[in-house]
A = this chain, B = another copy of it.
């Protein structure tokens, strides 16, 4: 592939910095860096272009993907109430597809024949990137340095950088492996690799310790249209602004932490600690609003398929015919999930207080324990007789059998 172009998903960190010279040296590629702004914060983005060029990149471009990530990926996960293994809100998983998509678009623009990423062979992200590349551009070559080179540790990487003359501003030890975007911040590695130890108090960056949160909680109101958040406290906000504001607010009250041992796609168990302040609040709110507006059988099937949707997203199958088809299902199902939810944020917990919707299926006259015309108790007699029929016949046969055979 000598002299061909490669688009590297570049972060400015140690790993992707040494990949720049490595791609040139090992593969003879002209390296074009694509920095995805997915909300990782100004700190990480500052000077990133200079860093890329200093590392030998032929070009470096920063693209703002924050809104796209929310609208294209976070909203679909949210409206599906997708949670991986009961606790993880998929924050890293849902950023990968938009980054890969931007890389592919950039590759097309500049006529690159390859794409590269800096994920290791041990994690999920390599899969998320590569499956996205393959789905969007089956013709592009994929280079995954971590699966090729002999670098095996942070120290190796720093040594490599030194040899290559790459200016990296890091210490030889870095305790945690972190991934941050507008939706969340993940922590792995270091002391977390012992599930028998509690996550250190000083681990968290987006959320205060609930015990340090204000003694006064705060009540907020979220507005949704068709399963998608559109307003906060009565003010219509764009996706980025809404999530930023809510992250700030929920983080101040210590809301949004999750700590779990999860099953990675590549087979091993792994401890992950996540901070998803806005996402946690939005999910809780939407759970309440869906409960009010989704018809029963629909809600049940949506609950089942949320598990499947979460697995597809976690395992990198975003641009996949199945995920796309499930997304149509969820979009249809949440058409009427419109309304507002009040919640209280207080010292680490989020409590739904009240929910209203023009599409509410709650009918007080049916539910009440007081007299009402809307429901005839006698109907329940017929219902029960028919509803219970299969089990009743089965029980009768079982008891006859037991009588005959003397076995119960």
Contact = CB atoms under 8 A, between A and B. Distances in A.
Nearest to A294: B321
A398 B198 CA distance: 26
Contacts of A120: 369, 377
A272 to B, nearest CB: 10
A193 B122 contact: no
Contact of A193 (B188, B266, B367, B399): B367
Nearest to A326: B329
B261 A389 contact: no
A295 B86 CA distance: 15
Nearest to A332: B325
A366 B120 CA distance: 13
A268 to B, nearest CB: 4
Contact of A188 (B292, B369, B387): B369
Q: Which of A146, A267, A326, A333 has the most CB of B within 10 A?
A: A267
Interface string A315-337: 00101111011101100110010
A369 to B, nearest CB: 5
Interface stretch (A22-30, A239-247, A341-349): A341-349
A3 interface: no
A255 to B, nearest CB: 9
Contacts of A13: none
A87 interface: yes
B354 A198 contact: yes
Interface string A349-383: 10111111011111110111111000111111111
Given A135-B395, A268-B375, A363-B393, A291 B260 contact: yes
A394 interface: yes
B388 A261 contact: no
B288 A355 contact: no
Interface stretch (A91-99, A106-114, A296-304): A296-304
A115 to B, nearest CB: 14
A138 B198 CA distance: 31
Given A121-B378, A138-B395, A381-B379, A297 B268 contact: no
Number of copies: 4
A259 interface: yes
B320 A297 contact: yes
Contacts of A356: 195-196
A301 B287 contact: no
A332 B342 contact: no
A42 interface: no
Interface stretch (A45-53, A68-76, A126-134, A161-169): A126-134
A364 B362 CA distance: 40
Contact of A391 (B196, B269, B295): B295
A147 interface: yes
A398 to B, nearest CB: 7
A365 B194 CA distance: 11
Contacts of A237: none
Given A296-B263, A388-B127, A397 B322 contact: no
A2 B73 CA distance: 54
Nearest to A198: B353
Given A146-B377, A267-B390, A378-B382, 9 more contacts: A121-B379, A127-B384, A198-B342, A270-B367, A324-B332, A328-B329, A346-B348, A361-B390, A380-B382
8 contacts: A120-B369, A266-B380, A267-B366, A268-B375, A270-B367, A322-B333, A325-B328, A383-B387
Interface of A: 81, 85-87, 120-122, 126-127, 130-131, 134-136, 138, 144, 146-147, 152-154, 177, 188-189, 193-199, 210-211, 217, 257, 259-271, 287-288, 291-292, 294-301, 303-304, 307-308, 311-312, 317, 319-322, 324-326, 328-329, 332-333, 336, 342, 346-349, 351-356, 358-364, 366-371, 375-399, 401, 404
